[in-house]
Structure 1
């Protein structure tokens, strides 16, 4: 098999293989020399107690140890490694260090890493750091649009970069051919490093500051009491500790199983290939890293050789049984030349001279990926003081410096100086840690590295996991599904004539949402009709994915708890609904939710779908120790159907005996209704979109019945299904903030126009009150605004998709967060934050007068469009009766932004 694969490779590539079959398998990657001076005596007994135990001696564990030692915890930190320091994936990875990442948080972490390696290098410590720059190539116009967006964002992210022509790209790297290249992006501040040398240098520095290193010491169990880490059992004894950090690389998932309860660390390994050539005469040591993204490959200079790799569109899972070998020699896998050939062809295409180069070795060193292709960091929701820094994929050296610092900050101060909610382990549910799910998903994930990331990306694997009881009906209606937290949610609905039928059984095919453009999306006309239904007749939307949590107590304990957690006053009359933030000590949003008071000592909380794990974790951290407050996640117990539009009251009145007149059932209140033949329907007189309507929380056994009655009775009113994209458009026009896009753990209510939702005069001193009082006194440094673009051509111009720079009077002042098309405004709508930056780039106080006095532009992929700026939510025209409209808006203004 190997021989035939070798011949196949030679036939395609015409590459000469040098002494390949005599090369010992365990040395088919770059050999490294381990220095014993870093390790404690292997017979040494661990201390009886310490403050921090780090599991994993790769570059990530070394970075955490280094930063803890720099923060004064060196003598109270030990690092435990089951083998030798640096012998995991650290010693065979490519060492690429690039600043551009998919989000601001990842960019800042990568920039921290680069700064750290530069500092270590200046101190004379070996890191292999070389600022050779990186050159990203584009073969398509859409890729160049992506580069233009990156160029625009670089102002916000403080990254020096330039768009280059094919000729300029070839001048930067003469060995590439550019016949099919239409442009590129040159990033001079990028570089490469040696992960192994960096790891040892960080370990040495940490050890000098008191950190103890124990090699050949395997962790067998992590102990906790009352939900907190208390000790770690190892093959060299048990050590009591206050904090545990899981930096075990692609063993991190297995380490997560060494505690009770298990800590989920969703990772799965795939085969990953590195091609090494023999030394090339005349190869410039400052050859830039070249990423041919449309060809899935990269290459760099490495000690006079070419090191090349890539991310094939369909990856090959490794260790599918979940058993990962401990020894290095067993961990490296046989070369699959048939699988590698797609990358090899692209390498030879981009570097024609590679065909005459002697190959030294092809390394198959597996790497682990998370199910969403993002790093995994933060405190585990299952156990307090259990931290995770894993899932760095193939770019651990890019992440290590920044993530190591952030993890050390969490341990020493309980928070970080950078918002990392999108990377936090609490973004996952238990289903994401299912090994079979991970095996399927990981085939798709690595290819995302270099795939063209269009807006609203959807995975094609791991689908049909969580579905509401009305899912089959939605599918029959033509739903095109997106997925959030594993939940299938209609993004939009296709017209009947466009339904596709499965050729096998004639049923309608399951459709996955797509955009596949940076301009006018293919779903535009469908969403426009759904939007119109919600504004003019009746739109029906499935809200079942929303996080739904019941909280109650025998006495007033639940009221006291929520008053402490929430910045708004939740001690409202039974039947009322209150919108509130849950702030942290900085005043930022840990959660943004609605609370319906079901009974004096019973609330139902509705929170964003992505908050299902996170908000439960936040609440559980603050529960009374006596168990007086009960919390139950009822997300999967209820189907949520929202009906919105001017005819919704007439429709629902036909299906219930309850008087729905606003005097009996006011806006923003709750009642339990009979609907059709069903009872116990928790009904809320709001829609989360600013439209008249109701959200019905239906026990699952009644869901299909209630849905059918709504559709049948609503036919005469012109009821129509509406997907997430239509409701999102409604919210963007209404200037509603989205948690996870506009609101995060650093955003305060005072910055986003919600100060009236903060009740400073409550009897209970809520979390974040002092920080908000201080901010109110000093003034905010940024303000949340709505921008309407002028002169933007719907059909031909690139659309806003979030992350666009905002300019005030020609000067950069902020970035867009949430964007969309305003179907009533007939304009692109951008939500975002505006700052007042001084000549040194430091933010100053921002007032309403400052915001409204400026002339604004939004940079959309290199083209600046003038924009009208709003600070308040507009009242859009509706078909409500005048008196009803006025009452609705008056109540809405009290409850929503």
Structure 2
């Protein structure tokens, strides 16, 4: 019997859609039969008393981790515990789309590794459902085509075959599509689809043949840790002592994270997610490419003679908002909500009109869990050592599983990976990101990011006004337009109020979120130019409160010994000195990039990038002396940080303090505790992190408003102006300062980025990474950090650099930009990035200064190549400093990057 679904007022075109009544009810799918057959590998019912690695979750990600551990020889020491049936979580109902192009190099490499694995499995007769049918991404707008042109430019460095095609070409590849409203498309022939369930079973079968054991219907009930390291896993089938635990629980990963003490934070929240399945369609080509209509939020793929369609609606519907996550798969699936799904359905009918004549089989509502920033979650948990996470795959687990399984196995076996995954590491989160109500609000927005047009410097609209400095209300009154980083509201720029900015009820200034909404000259350009000028010519005031601030101390000099071991620079400096240093890993890469102020003989204050708040604390705590002789305290929220910069700052601050600020008494890159106004105990640092003359004042929160008010009042006659993050960022880019998370990462060494002079090889302590850096110094570096000034570029009409642009030397690809910005003094686009010397086979060779400076450079900006002038050293920009201070300034300026 056939029955019409619910009809909607004004949507009579939906009347032609029919649904089998017996598949309309919750939880029914033709795929369910797979979970009830005997095709999956044999499993044993009673787990052992001990194992080396316990993997929680028998989906495709858990299977991939087990497979790679087995390949590395750990099979007999590894077990999988699955609370239900293998592949019974999200694996069996996902779309199976496998696309190589991802938002970042790390994600792209993981996806490429996944594809390579599935191809290899198919060659040995293990089915994965892999089908290289290619993908078509459609563009309805010029801005979307700009994105595609950027992707096409990046494809050279990322080794992806792709082609920009016209709307007419789209018809040739997929005749079913409507194309009259398209601006073009991107064709990626190497993309395809796979079967997550088959892939899961094949991976587990291969792993079992190498000794991995699997236990179904075995739920984890508690994770036991001893001295902050994994000791055992308690399950419904008994306790298993182990050394490593891997949370691959997918939809349930956050719940599993709460089964330990302390909780392991896995910020995920489910939203309703829909898959539309048709009945078999006559004449449907099995090699029909995957269709992604990004501006319509939808996708299509061929699936065993049927059409499978889905999408990522702009406003998602959170599931299980009461926080009670169902304990098994059958309870998880929800009734269809056609009212909510109609946004996608209308777009499907628009793009593929013939779909209106197709009989539907079912609409599956299988909620999926998303992270608050729409990225995967991997890495070792900050809370417990040897506890690893591989979750948050956001409906495309098969696309990531092979690569993430390999990376996780490498972390467990080797302690490091062959890829830099800092942007995916779980340490990018704070406790606030795991708040259920925050997650519920944020995931309304997150799924839509999959296909949304991502303009530069994207800002979330939800989960705002969480962390605010005490001067936040004053900044808002001053016209701040806010960005958010690690939950912190940080002014991006300031603009005068107009009538739309004022609340008509109470007359207050409305809260405004930063935006760019273009790939060309941004709307905030003129505001930032004025702020930049103030910082260079008079006085700029910027809120630095979001910076990570950590105090470290000991009774004696144990803290000095610890920091000498962790830091590549020599931190045993006189009290009152500030030292800039990296904290390297055993490969010589940056785990942290920070400034250390020596407050006392046995006390340091560390200032690190905002995004490092969890990561750097975790790195330090993992290396603390076991006797507890060194104490660590995160004081980020205890101090308001105000930076004043510009040539008039010394005169301004001198009016508010009795301390002599003369260069001899308070030289650059030193620390003093000051009274400012009526307040005391202010930690003042003579640096700005931007290369300008000035100070950063770390003010106890109770004094923050007072000090801010005094600075503004006294600064009026000096032309003081508020400066947002975009202005200070422009100053840093122009001064050739590296940014952690963009230019510096866990694979970048000081020798590659021009900071070898900050590495003190001759200090008595054998610091972490010393051997790797000595070897690199002997062997030579394979890439160098450069600054490129773009020439023949019109900022008013040409596309701008936003990072990730390919760099060409003498017409040959040699690297990519990392950080970019507009140089208001140069009046040019400024690009920072790394240059390599690649041979004909794409292998890296030694890179010398002569090699770098002898080339003719171009940068590909959205498909247009612009010539660029290359620099290896910071340029000396004109200043308004007094002559007596200029030499001292230039001698210390390069120390001021954090």
Which bin holds the TM-score, normalised by the shorter protein?
over 0.9
Contact 1:139 1:183 (8 Å CA) reproduced: yes
Structure 2 residue runs of 5 or longer lacking an equivalent are none
Secondary structure of residue in 2 paired with 1:784? strand
Secondary structure of residue in 1 paired with 2:773? helix
Query: Which whole-Å CA distance do the structure 2 matches of 1:180 and 1:886 have between them?
Result: 61
Q: In 2 relative to 1, CA 106–882 (structure 1 residues): closer, same or farther, beyond 3 Å?
A: same
Matches within 5 A, 1:175-214: 175-214=176-215
Is 1:719 aligned to 2:720, yes or no? yes
Q: Could you report, residue by residue, the CA deviation over 1:196-252 in whole angstroms, capped at 9, with x for unpaired residues?
A: 110011111111111000000000000001110010000000010000000000100
Matches within 5 A, 1:748-897: 748-893=749-894
Query: Which whole-Å CA distance do the structure 2 matches of 1:651 and 1:61 have between them?
Result: 60
Q: In 2 relative to 1, CA 18–637 (structure 1 residues): closer, same or farther, beyond 3 Å?
A: closer
Q: CA deviation at 1:853?
A: 0.2
Is 1:407 aligned to 2:408, yes or no? yes
Q: CA deviation at 1:418?
A: 0.2
Partner of 1:729: 730
Secondary structure of residue in 2 paired with 1:25? coil
Matches within 5 A, 1:79-98: 79-98=80-99
Structure 1 runs (4+) deviating above 4 angstroms are 6-10, 21-24, 35-42, 893-897
Matches within 5 A, 1:67-106: 67-106=68-107
Secondary structure of residue in 1 paired with 2:6? helix
Query: Which whole-Å CA distance do the structure 1 matches of 2:17 and 2:543 have between them?
Result: 59
Q: CA deviation at 1:112?
A: 0.2
Secondary structure of residue in 2 paired with 1:511? coil
Query: Which whole-Å CA distance do the structure 1 matches of 2:63 and 2:10 have between them?
Result: 38
How many matched pairs?
Answer: 895
Partner of 1:662: 663
Contact 1:14 1:356 (8 Å CA) reproduced: no
Q: TM-score, normalised to structure 1's length?
A: 0.98
Partner of 1:597: 598
Query: Which whole-Å CA distance do the structure 1 matches of 2:244 and 2:9 have between them?
Result: 52
Contact 1:806 1:814 (8 Å CA) reproduced: yes
Q: CA deviation at 1:893?
A: 4.4
Supply the RMSD in Å over aligned alpha carbons. Answer: 1.3
Contact 1:97 1:398 (8 Å CA) reproduced: yes
Matches within 5 A, 1:551-566: 551-566=552-567
Contact 1:565 1:767 (8 Å CA) reproduced: yes
Partner of 2:175: 174
Partner of 1:276: 277
Q: CA deviation at 1:24?
A: 5.1
Q: Could you report, residue by residue, the CA deviation over 1:267-290 in whole angstroms, capped at 9, with x for unpaired residues?
A: 000000000011110000000000
Q: Could you report, residue by residue, the CA deviation over 1:856-880 in whole angstroms, capped at 9, with x for unpaired residues?
A: 0000000000000000001100100
Partner of 1:682: 683
Query: Which whole-Å CA distance do the structure 1 matches of 2:887 and 2:584 have between them?
Result: 32
Is 1:484 aligned to 2:514, yes or no? no
Q: Could you report, residue by residue, the CA deviation over 1:393-447 in whole angstroms, capped at 9, with x for unpaired residues?
A: 0100000000000000000010000000000000000000000000000000000
Query: Which whole-Å CA distance do the structure 2 matches of 1:668 and 1:156 have between them?
Result: 40
Q: In 2 relative to 1, CA 439–29 (structure 1 residues): closer, same or farther, beyond 3 Å?
A: farther
Q: Could you report, residue by residue, the CA deviation over 1:768-792 in whole angstroms, capped at 9, with x for unpaired residues?
A: 0000000000100000000000010
Query: Which whole-Å CA distance do the structure 2 matches of 1:446 and 1:92 have between them?
Result: 17
Q: CA deviation at 1:501?
A: 1.2
Q: TM-score, normalised to structure 2's length?
A: 0.98
Q: CA deviation at 1:126?
A: 1.1
Q: Could you report, residue by residue, the CA deviation over 1:587-640 in whole angstroms, capped at 9, with x for unpaired residues?
A: 000000000000000000000000000000000010000000000000000000
Secondary structure of residue in 1 paired with 2:491? strand
Partner of 1:542: 543
Q: In 2 relative to 1, CA 820–895 (structure 1 residues): closer, same or farther, beyond 3 Å?
A: closer
Partner of 2:165: 164
Q: In 2 relative to 1, CA 31–4 (structure 1 residues): closer, same or farther, beyond 3 Å?
A: closer
Partner of 2:130: 129
Query: Which whole-Å CA distance do the structure 1 matches of 2:883 and 2:24 have between them?
Result: 83
Partner of 2:264: 263
Partner of 1:422: 423
Q: In 2 relative to 1, CA 39–125 (structure 1 residues): closer, same or farther, beyond 3 Å?
A: closer
Contact 1:15 1:359 (8 Å CA) reproduced: no
Q: In 2 relative to 1, CA 41–198 (structure 1 residues): closer, same or farther, beyond 3 Å?
A: closer
Contact 1:86 1:199 (8 Å CA) reproduced: yes
Q: Could you report, residue by residue, the CA deviation over 1:338-395 in whole angstroms, capped at 9, with x for unpaired residues?
A: 1000100000000010000101111101100000000000000000000000000010
Query: Which whole-Å CA distance do the structure 2 matches of 1:22 and 1:368 have between them?
Result: 24
Contact 1:646 1:692 (8 Å CA) reproduced: yes
Secondary structure of residue in 2 paired with 1:27? coil
Is 1:625 aligned to 2:626, yes or no? yes
Is 1:360 aligned to 2:361, yes or no? yes
Q: In 2 relative to 1, CA 334–895 (structure 1 residues): closer, same or farther, beyond 3 Å?
A: closer
Q: In 2 relative to 1, CA 299–4 (structure 1 residues): closer, same or farther, beyond 3 Å?
A: closer
Query: Which whole-Å CA distance do the structure 2 matches of 1:803 and 1:25 have between them?
Result: 45
Secondary structure of residue in 1 paired with 2:21? coil
Structure 1 residue runs of 5 or longer lacking an equivalent are none
Is 1:641 aligned to 2:637, yes or no? no
Query: Which whole-Å CA distance do the structure 1 matches of 2:481 and 2:895 have between them?
Result: 35
Q: CA deviation at 1:499?
A: 6.3
Query: Which whole-Å CA distance do the structure 2 matches of 1:638 and 1:249 have between them?
Result: 38
Q: CA deviation at 1:9?
A: 9.9
Secondary structure of residue in 2 paired with 1:512? coil
Query: Which whole-Å CA distance do the structure 2 matches of 1:408 and 1:29 have between them?
Result: 34
Contact 1:735 1:873 (8 Å CA) reproduced: yes
Partner of 2:511: 510
Q: In 2 relative to 1, CA 59–41 (structure 1 residues): closer, same or farther, beyond 3 Å?
A: closer
Secondary structure of residue in 2 paired with 1:148? helix
Query: Which whole-Å CA distance do the structure 1 matches of 2:489 and 2:896 have between them?
Result: 29
